[in-house]
Every structure is written in structure tokens, then in C-alpha cells.
Amino acid sequence: MLLSIAPDSDTPIYLQLRHQIVDALVSGELREGDQLPSVRQLAVELGINLHTVNKAYKVLEDEGYLRIYGRRGARITSGPTYNDDYLQQLADGLERLFTDARSHGIDAGQLRQIVDETINKGA
């Protein structure tokens, strides 16, 4: 798995790492039981602070995507399962995105097209 960062992005580096690892899980590039590089190793490879990698790994662990084993590294888990709380968080996040989009003049048809295109990328 090849991870990269965009230092000039508005997205914090730890979230860039989180998103790329989740994308690799969804695509099948990473599977349950796969080991990720150590925090120190990944920080050196990417030229970033090890606390940034540690934060990304901690977020992924909190979300249920991986398990951290201290100095023995981190392994991918079977992944989180959704529940009513997650569905509510998803609905709330979509509502914020849609409100923001509408404030920029994007109409319902354009929103549907964006959602459909995004869903079809993962299909």
C-alpha cells in the first residue's frame, strides 16, 4: 500500500492518512490481519512527525478499523459495524454537507448527480 500526503491540503495530514487507509480497506488492498508499518517507520517514510501517524492510527483504532499492539505495530481488524448511532452520525454529516452545498448555489439535481457519481465509483 502506497500512502502519500499533500502538505498544502486543507485536510489535516492525520485525516489524509486515515482516509487513504480506509480507502485501501474498501478497495480490498488491505484485509483483516494485514499489518501496517510501525508509527515510526511510516513517519520516516512520509517525512512527517510520528505523533501525526500515531493520531491517525488512534482514530482508526477508535473507529474499529485496526488494533494497535504497542511496539509490535498495528493490524487491520474485521472493521466497524454500523448501528443506529452511526446511521444518525452519517445523516447529520450529509445534512451539513448538503446545507453547505446549497449555500454555494448547488441545486438538488446537481447534488443527486454528485451522490450518484460518488456511489458508482465504489461499485
Is the full-model pTM beyond 0.85?
A: no
First and final C-alpha spacing in the chain: 21
Q: What is the mean pLDDT of residues 26-50?
A: 94
Are the C-beta atoms of residues 63 and 69 closer than 8 Å to each other?
no
Residue 21: closest CA among 77, 72, 71? 77
Round the average pLDDT of the chain to a whole number and report it: 91
φ, ψ for residue 76, nearest 5 deg: -70, 135
Burial 15-28 (b: 16+ CB within 10 A, else e): ebbbebbbebbeee
pLDDT in tens, 75-117: 999 888 778 888 898 899 999 999 999 999 999 999 999 989 9
d(C-alpha 64, C-alpha 70), whole Å: 16
